[in-house]
């Protein structure tokens, strides 16, 4: 693939989310922004997908079964460190100090649940802008 193809190729995002309604909203918003969207219901499924595909962004819910977002992010840091700069988190748990501390330490953008399609659109547009699209 030459450089021109790379810049015009659709950006790919992986949504790691176990709530079907939120996954559907993310899928609708991201496809309307021109992104190619894949979804995983937990971190374990996401790991397998990341090993097979190249993603431009990963939207990770902090609380998913089997492997949570914190564990997935730690795995990314070890196995795919460049990808950590393309992570956006979602969480419904800001009451727990652990989540707050984790988000501050990770230094990545995050959305509090429940979020609106507009908020989701804003965060992905900002991420695309920072990535130089």
Spell out the domains of the chain, with CATH numbers in brackets. 10-96+109-130 (3.40.50.2300)
Q: Output b/e per residue, 49-88; b: 16+ Cβ within 10 A.
A: bbeeeebbbbbbbbbbeebbbbbbbbbbeeebeebbebbb
Distance CA 104, CA 32 (A): 30
43-52 vs 69-79: helix crossing angle, rounded to 10: 30
Mean pLDDT by 10 residues, the chain (133 residues): 52 97 97 97 98 97 95 98 96 83 94 95 93 70
Bridge partners (DSSP) of residue 12 are 36
Predicted local confidence at residue 93, as pLDDT: 80
pTM of the model: 0.91
Predicted local confidence at residue 3, as pLDDT: 43
């Amino acid at each position: 693939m030459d450089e021109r193809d790379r810049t015009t190729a659709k950006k790919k995002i992986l949504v790691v989310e176990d709530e079907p309604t939120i996954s559907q909203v993310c899928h609708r918003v991201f496809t309307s922004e021109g992104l190619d969207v894949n979804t995983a219901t937990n971190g374990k499924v996401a790991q397998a997908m990341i090993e097979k595909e190249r993603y431009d962004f990963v939207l990770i819910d902090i609380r998913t079964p089997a492997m949570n977002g914190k564990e997935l992010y730690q795995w990314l840091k070890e196995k795919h460190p460049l990808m950590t700069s393309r992570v956006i988190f979602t969480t419904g748990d800001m009451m727990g100090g652990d989540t707050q501390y984790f988000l501050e330490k990770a230094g990545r953008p995050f959305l509090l649940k429940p979020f609106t399609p507009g908020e989701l659109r804003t965060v992905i547009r900002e991420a695309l802008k920072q990535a130089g699209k």
